[in-house]
Structures are given as C-alpha cells and as structure tokens.
Amino acid sequence: MRLIYFVCALLLTASVQSQQTLNVYPTHWWAGMKNQQLQLLVKSPGIGKTNVALKPYAGVQLKGTHTFKNPDYLAIDLQIGGTAKPGELQFSFAEKGKSAKQVKYILKARDKGNGRTRIKGVGTEDFIYLIMPDRFSNGDPSNDKVPGMLDQSLDRSDIWHRHGGDLKGIENQLDYLQDIGVTALWLNPVLENDMPNRTEHGYAATDHYSIDPRLGGIKAYHSLINALHKRDMKIIQDAVYNHVGIHHFLYKEMPDSSWFHWWPSYTNTTYKDQTLMDPYAAAIDKKKMSDGWFVPGMPDLNQHNPFMANFLIQHAIWCTEEFGLDGWRIDTYAYNDLEFMNRCNKALLDEYPQLHIFGETWVHGVANQSYFAANNIDIPYKSNLPGVTDFQLNLYGIVPALTQAFGWTDGVNKLYSTAAKDFLYKDPKRNVIFLDNHDISRFYSQVGESIPKLKMGLSWLLTYRGIPQLYYGTEVLLKGFANPDGLVRQDFPGGWAGDSSNKFTAAGRTPEENEVFNHMRSLSRFRLGSPALQHGKMMQYVPEDGVYVYFRYDAKQTILCIMNTNDQPKTIAASRFEERFKGFSSARDIITNQDISIRDSITIPSYTLLTAELVR
C-alpha cells in the first residue's frame, strides 16, 4: 500500500456503499496569494464523470472544469480573490443517478514570518552546505526500511543501496553545521521516490506531495526547517521539473498521454545544450535535447501541456509557502522547456521577490552557461533565472588552477580567464560556486589528495565572488571519484551509531583532517562578519609565473588574496597593487593572525592561498 503523509486523502461524506479516498493536488492552499488563479487536479475513480458545484464562499469563484481521457481525473479552475478569508471550501461532485459526494478543501492563512524568519532568500552573505540526506546521519533507524515501498535495500557497504540517513539525522547535527559557519542547507530531493532501486539520490519522484517516509516524512521535514529558521539558518529545496520516476502516479495512471514526451521508439536526450543556442542547429537536434528522456526510468515531462505546467508551478509555490523555503536549486535546468522555466521562475518570484533560484547548468563554456541565466546578451531567448551552479568556475577555474601547470591559457590562467567573462551575466554574484558535489569527483581526490591544495581550494571558495557551496564531508577529507565507482556519496563518518570514527568531533578526526577542518572553519567564521567577502566588489590581476592575485573590497574593508600554484615559494612586488594598497600600512593573515608587510614585497609559500585583511 502507498503511505501518504500529507493530509490529501479527503473523506467522501456522501452516502455510498463503501468509503473511498479522493486526492486533490495541491492538497490545500492559502488565502491572500498574489496570483488569484488556482487549478486543482482531483484524482478519484470516475471523478471526471461528475458535475462539480462549489458552495458559495466569499471571494472564491469556480471558473470551470476540465476532463481528461482518463475519467479518474478532473481539473477545477478557481479564482481566489483578495477578499477571500481562510476557511473551508465545500465541493459537491454529482454523477447522474447517484448521491453527490461532498468534499472539503482548506484555505489556510499565510505565515506572518514570510520574508522575516522564513522565505528570506539566499545571497552572497550565505555559506551553503549540500547534503545527500541518505548519507549524512541516521537520526531515526525506525524509518530505514518502510514496508510496501519498492526499494527494500539497506546496505551501507554498497554505494548504490540505501544507507538510512534521514532528516532527523541532519537536525541532530545542526550544532556542528552552525559551528563551521554554514548558514544554509541544500538537500538533494526529499520527495517520495518509490522506485525499485537506486533511490538514494532522490531525483526520480513518484509523488510530489509526499516527503519520502524513509527520510522521516513531512513531520520530520517541518521539524528540520523550523529548527533551521530558529537558528537564523536557511533551507534550499531541490526541484526536478524535467522528469519524474517511472512509478509516479501521473505516469502509471496518466490523465492522458499528452502529459509526457513520446517518440516512436525510446529516445534519450543528446545532452547537447549547444543545440539550444546554435544559430545553425537542426530542429530535430533541438527536440532531442529538450524532449528526449534523461534515462529510461525517468519519463520526460511535457511542460507545453498547460495542466502539467500548472501542476509543477503550483507545487513549487505550495512547497515554498508550506515549508518556508529560502531558495530553490533546479536540477537539469537546460533540459526543461525554457519558456516554461521563465514562467515558473516568474510565478515564484512574483509571489516571493526575496526568494533565490539557481539552476544546474552542467555545460561547457561561460557563454553556454550564461545563456541559461539572466544575462547581457542580445539574443532572442532571454532567461530570467537569477543564478546558476557555476560549473565554469569549477571545470575551467579552480580545478585546472590547482591541477595544471601554469601556461598562457592553462593552470591558474584558466581561473582568471573564466572570471573575466563575468560581463556576460546580469549579476554573476548570484551564481553558486563550489569545489565538488554529488555528481562529480571529490575535490580532495581531484587534487591528488594534497592537503595544501585542498586548503587552497577552500580558501578560494570562501573568498571569491558568488555564493559558496560546500559538499558534505569535504571539510574532513572525504574522497572518491565519480567514475567508475561512484564513491562520491559516502556516509559521513560518525553519522551512524557504531561508526568506527566520528568526524563530527575533533577527537574523532585525524591531525590532517583537523588541519583542514580548522583552516576552513577559521575562514568561514571570519566570513560571517566580513562585509567585503559577503557583499564586496572583486578586482583581479593577470596571473604571473603561476601567482594569481585578487581583492575583495568595499568602503569598510579590503581582503587580499594571493594564490601561489607553484611547488616553491614566490616573491611578488607590492608596487604592482598600489591601486588597492593605497591608504593601507600592512595586512593581517586571516588564518594565522600574523602581520604581513605590504611595503616592498610579499613572499607566499608554495601551494598557498594567502588571505589577509588590509590594515590602515
């Protein structure tokens, strides 16, 4: 049987021989929303054959209904005016020759904390920590397996099986996260994923209005988010608009076939984002990119279908209001219908102007990436997406900076050159920068398990432009390559009872782990009170001899960052940076608190990113 944790099974009060459940999506709504149009999708046996009536309710009008090929679905269009008050709407569903079914639908009052204690948005002042809930901490072993769900695996020795981490486990570790300067959590998807296997990642939803019970369900999600907001921390939800799991009820029991993309035979996406912007692209190549399926087990949603579009957009608004979300990360952004994405983004931002939305843009080239974001390019398609996951500053930035020999276009010059293309974005500061995530190899492994290089990467992450995002465990030297073994989704040591070590504590970490941990913690906590690092401008200098210098500054503070990517110390002349040094007498190392002379020259040890605050 399907376990449903939302109050979405409404009791039919009509006189019938046996009681049945009736599902309504969204499960409830709110009075006082700016968009007064609401489309309910009702699912119940034969509901499409009924005539619908709404008991008079001040400020609410029933505008029309829609039937589908599948008679078990019905769509109801409502207008909820500004005068409508919270309360219960009462619908009757009458079928000829049968007693009418009476159904209640709740209009709630909106939360008064919106924009103040919740739904505050995410910005450059924040430090995001990305968690795969199944792999971080197991706070409630009773939900490790849920009877009736298709995936009954529970094997921590197998990277592809479930491991039992949950939302309660994350809540239990909030002291640790806040101590290291984290201000916002981004969780991989938490919606129900009732698929037969590979459900640890969460990207194949089977019910949009159910939080996966193996993570603790809606009660645990509310509890975690409330705990975050009480600490003045934030929550980012992961959205998947492009596809669902093949066991989603909308696919297994379709209203009609137009809700999904179909081909004469199975057709995969080409993953070629270039076709969307290529002035010479063939129409079929564009279609395969956007309408092809991501993988065989994830049906591709037809966002041109207005009912599917409404279902997805209303769900995003529903989650934002219900849980008090501060931001959205959008999975596989480039594979969606981009006009739909503009419509969806606008709907969210119209309702919540302070909300931050950033999309996954795993593409190649700053021009490609900026195409999907709000940009300064004169092209027919104009995106309204505020920010992106900045793969360019990863793939063509910090990774080659610390893994390639210095050259005209190689090594740290790649980082410099990539940042120089920020003119393409409307606001590059809203992009999320990162060292690694759940899909790519661990940064520690990418830099050859070099402690100095990992520390350099963390220093870069916390001092560069944009919103920094750390993948769980990077701070305690978790390692692994994405291919072929997938060992980038290990458990956080100490998150399970009986773990041989507990990396949440200093005593459980090795000296090397504590060295990196303390380095990151010192800088992240400094950043919490640094106006220059949180909101300041950036100025960069052309790298010379493997040394790259950039500044973060505002009217109150200036931070000097010198990245020496060489295997030997380098000395640079201070006179080159007179533009930024003018008015300052010295600098103080943020990590060591030692004074640094900036009068004549500065010597930087090998494989070091010096971060220092200028002193007048």
pLDDT tier at 550, thresholds 50, 70, 90: very high
Give kind and range of the element (H or E) at residue 285: helix 283-291
Q: 13 pLDDT exceeds 70?
A: no
CB 379 within 8 Å of CB 424: no
pLDDT tier at 15, thresholds 50, 70, 90: very low
What DSSP string runs through 211-247? E-GGGTHHHHHHHHHHHHHHTT-EEEEEE--SB--TT
- Token pair of 256, please? 């009609």
Rounded Cα distance between 273 and 112, Å, is: 42
CB 454 within 8 Å of CB 443: yes
Give span(s): CATH 2.60.40.10, the chain: 9-108
pLDDT score for 421: 98
- Proportion of the chain above pLDDT 90, given as a percent: 95
Question: Is 360 known to be catalytic?
Answer: yes
Read off the pLDDT of residues 488-536 as tens digits, 9 standing for 90 and up.
999 999 999 999 999 999 999 999 999 999 999 999 999 999 999 999 9
pLDDT score for 96: 84
Instruction: Please state, in angstroms and as integers, the Cα–Cα distance from residue 600 to each residue in 158, 581, 596, following that order.
Output: 57, 11, 11
Read off the pLDDT of residues 297-322 as tens digits, 9 standing for 90 and up.
999 999 999 999 999 999 999 999 99
Minimum mean pLDDT among 85-99, 251-265, 378-392, 538-552: which range?
Answer: 85-99
What angle do the packed helices 306-323 and 338-351 form, to 10 degrees?
30
Helix (H, G, I), strand (E, B) or coil at 76: strand
Instruction: Indicate the residue type of 447.
Output: V
Q: State the distance between the two ends of the chain, measured CA to CA, in whole angstroms.
A: 69
State which fold the 122-239+451-457+466-528 domain adopts: TIM Barrel (3.20.20)
What angle do the packed helices 217-230 and 306-323 form, to 10 degrees?
50
pTM score of the predicted model = 0.95
- 8-state DSSP, 151: -
Which listed residue (134, 331, 422, 491) is catalytic? 331
Q: What is the 3-state secondary structure (H, E, C) of 445-508?
A: HHCCCCHHHHHHHHHHHHHCCCEEEEECCHHHCCCCCCCCCCCCCCCCCCCCCCCCCCCCCHHH
Q: 2 pLDDT exceeds 90?
A: no
Read off the pLDDT of residues 179-198 as tens digits, 9 standing for 90 and up.
999 999 999 999 999 999 99
Q: List, in order, residues 6 or more apart from 279 with CB less than 8 Å away.
A: none
pLDDT score for 492: 98
To the question of domain 9-108 being in CATH 3.90.1150.10, the answer is no
Closest CA to 166 of 498, 496, 501: 496
Mean pLDDT, range 275-280, rounded to an integer: 97
Give kind and range of the element (H or E) at residue 102: strand 101-108
Give kind and range of the element (H or E) at residue 131: strand 128-131
- Indicate if the alpha-carbon torsion angle 453, 456, 462, 467 is positive or negative: negative
Rounded Cα distance between 84 and 60, Å, is: 6
Read off the pLDDT of residues 419-449 as tens digits, 9 standing for 90 and up.
999 999 999 999 999 999 999 999 999 999 9
- Indicate if the alpha-carbon torsion angle 440, 441, 444, 446 is positive or negative: negative
- CB-count exposure of residue 54 (10 Å: 0-12, 13-18, 19+): middle
Give span(s): CATH 2.60.40.1180, the chain: 537-615
Average pLDDT of the chain to the nearest whole number: 95
Question: Is 166 known to be catalytic?
Answer: no
Read off the pLDDT of residues 66-87 as tens digits, 9 standing for 90 and up.
999 999 999 999 999 999 999 9
Q: 60 pLDDT exceeds 50?
A: yes
Give span(s): CATH 3.20.20.80, the chain: 122-239+451-457+466-528
- Indicate if the alpha-carbon torsion angle 233, 238, 241, 244 is positive or negative: negative
User: How, if at all, do strands 184-187 and 234-239 pair?
Assistant: parallel
Strand order in the sheet with 21-25: 9-11, 21-25, 37-43, 73-80, 60-67
Closest CA to 133 of 499, 524, 554, 472: 472
pLDDT tier at 381, thresholds 50, 70, 90: very high
- Indicate if the alpha-carbon torsion angle 359, 360, 364, 366 is positive or negative: positive
Query: What's the CATH number of domain 537-615, 3.30.450.20, 3.40.50.2300, 2.40.30.10, 2.60.40.1180?
Result: 2.60.40.1180
pLDDT tier at 17, thresholds 50, 70, 90: very low
As a whole number of angstroms, the longest Cα–Cα distance in the chain is 95
Query: Which residues are registered as beta bridge partners of 575?
Result: none
Which listed residue (273, 360, 390, 513) is catalytic? 360
Rounded Cα distance between 413 and 336, Å, is: 33
pLDDT score for 21: 85
Region of 529 please: left (phi>0), alpha (psi -120 to 50) or beta.
alpha
- CB-count exposure of residue 117 (10 Å: 0-12, 13-18, 19+): middle
- Token pair of 341, please? 């994405």
pLDDT tier at 3, thresholds 50, 70, 90: very low
CB 370 within 8 Å of CB 425: yes
Instruction: Please state, in angstroms and as integers, the Cα–Cα distance from residue 481 to each residue in 363, 443, 492, 543, following that order.
Output: 20, 9, 16, 30
Read off the pLDDT of residues 446-475 as tens digits, 9 standing for 90 and up.
999 999 999 999 999 999 999 999 999 999
What angle do the packed helices 511-528 and 451-463 form, to 10 degrees?
10
